[in-house]
Amino acid sequence: MSLSTAQIISKAKAFAEANYDNGLDFFVEGYGDDEWLDYIQTFNGWSEVKAEMKSHAARRAEYAADIVGQ
């Protein structure tokens, strides 16, 4: 059974909250309903959304480390 858009957004928000200190803070702080809707539209289901959220956070951490020279 596939999840509805609302269910995927709810899971994504909960995942971001649970992983706030692990790089997903920008989703919590910067994403409203419209941003979430736009974000998930490019993926096929919750597993792809979750994987991209993790990847997005890793890229941001790498970028931040480059800025501070680490």
Map out the domains of the chain as residue ranges. Answer: 5-68
pLDDT in tens, 1-54: 579 999 999 999 999 999 999 999 999 999 999 999 999 998 999 999 999 999
Predicted TM-score (pTM) of the model is 0.84
Confidence check: pLDDT of 68 > 80: no
Q: Are 12 and 40 in contact (CB under 8 A)?
A: yes
Q: What pLDDT does 70 receive? A: 61
